[in-house]
Amino acid sequence: MPSLYISERAWMGIAVTFHILALSMGSFRLIQRCRTKHYYWDDLLVLCCLICDVTLFVVVLTREREFLGKELRGTLSAWHLLLQLCVPSVVWSSRISIAFSLLRLIKFDIWRKRLMIIVIITFVLVWATIVISVFVCNKYNGTPKHTKLSHSSCSKSVVRITSFAAYITADGFLIYIPLRLLRNLRLPRGRRLMVRVVFSSLGLSTITGFIHDGISIDHSPQTRRVQQLTNMLKAPVALIVCSLIVVIPCIYRLFKKDDEFGMTSISIHIDESIPGPETTTSNTVSQPERAVVRNPAVRSFSNLPVQFAHASLAGRAQSYSWPQRARVQDESNILGVKC
């Protein structure tokens, strides 16, 4: 068995693993949104991203032999045309979804909100341009297996350089804007780190695109197959990145809840004896006292609405006691933590 075939099978296994992980995380995000009944535009785009990635995954599994075949020279099959439509759809719908998530975070800064709207419109135009270029540069010739290039300019490296520049610019905007917003938000250290990890993960998509475009410079048959396999990784990585906005906060709340349960499970020791003036210490916690209402004019039920203003209730107000808060003198002692 040739070593190249083994490497291709290894790439295929990695691609399938990434697709399964991406589909699981994307489904988790949508299920979480359905459970909480909070729907936004970014969730609709994640649904579009998930549908395109499912289509891509099915095509890869059903056409694996053709995809790993050796007859990939100057022609493209109809299945590869479908791949060329699904991959940019997943990548750019993921970026637009993250941009909508950032737009919801910007509430008071009108200038940044308008800039974010312009960025979203630019992403939509780039996505539409890439989809149109797929139909223009790959014109179907009527045969069931192959397509042909309709323009000689489509094979130039200018298109790849332009698309790669668009990828880097888009990821740069989506990383810089949230990190810039963190300066104006007073968040705890854990949540601040969580937000940075979520939006810095966009660099994974940039690295994948950089590897794909770097390999595409060489036009040998071996690198062409590897180029197609790395092109497959762009879609699941993009879906993983846009799903992290919901997945990481859920994991963060889960661990935080476990910490809170661990704190509340600590035994609480309270001294129920009433301390005198000479035995009062800083480690004693007094029990809540009851304050008796002596003046019914101060707290009377006659001041309430008509259905509650009854003579018997007003008479009972004299003996009704109102609880006061417990005077906690040492909070660390209550939690069982020694300072």
pLDDT tens digits for range 150-193: 444 455 556 666 767 777 777 777 777 777 777 766 667 666 77
Q: Which two structure tokens, joined as six digits, stand for 316?
A: 């009972």
pLDDT grade, residue 261 (50/70/90)?
very low
What are phi and psi for residue 73, nearest 5 degrees?
Answer: -115, -90
Q: Which two structure tokens, joined as six digits, stand for 164?
A: 């790669």
pLDDT of the residue at 72: 41
Task: Specify whether the CB–CB gap between 95 and 174 falls below 8 A.
Answer: yes
Q: Which two structure tokens, joined as six digits, stand for 338?
A: 């020694």
Query: What percent of the chain lies above the pLDDT cut of 70?
Result: 49
| 240 pLDDT higher than 50 | yes
pLDDT of the residue at 120: 85
Please give the mean pLDDT across all residues of the chain.
66
In angstroms, the CA 80 to CA 63 distance is: 10
Q: Which two structure tokens, joined as six digits, stand for 328?
A: 């906690």
pLDDT of the residue at 166: 75
Domains of the chain, start order: 8-140+159-260 (1.20.1070)
pLDDT tens-place string over residues 54-100: 888 888 777 665 555 444 444 456 677 777 788 888 888 888 888 88
Other CB atoms within 10 Å distance of the CB of residue 275: 12
DSSP, res 324:
-
What DSSP assignment string belongs to 272-283? -S---TTT--TT
In angstroms, the CA 302 to CA 325 distance is: 26
Task: Specify whether the CB–CB gap between 226 and 241 falls below 8 A.
Answer: no
In angstroms, the CA 231 to CA 211 distance is: 9
pLDDT higher for 162 or 41?
41
Helix ranges (H only) for the chain are 3-36, 41-62, 64-67, 78-105, 110-137, 157-181, 189-200, 202-215, 221-264, 311-316, 331-334
Q: Which two structure tokens, joined as six digits, stand for 253?
A: 């709340």
Q: Which residues contact 36 (CB under 8 A, 6 or more apart)?
A: none
| 321 pLDDT higher than 60 | no
| 269 pLDDT higher than 50 | no
In angstroms, the CA 311 to CA 302 distance is: 8
Task: Specify whether the CB–CB gap between 170 and 159 falls below 8 A.
Answer: no
Q: Which amino acid is at 103?
A: L
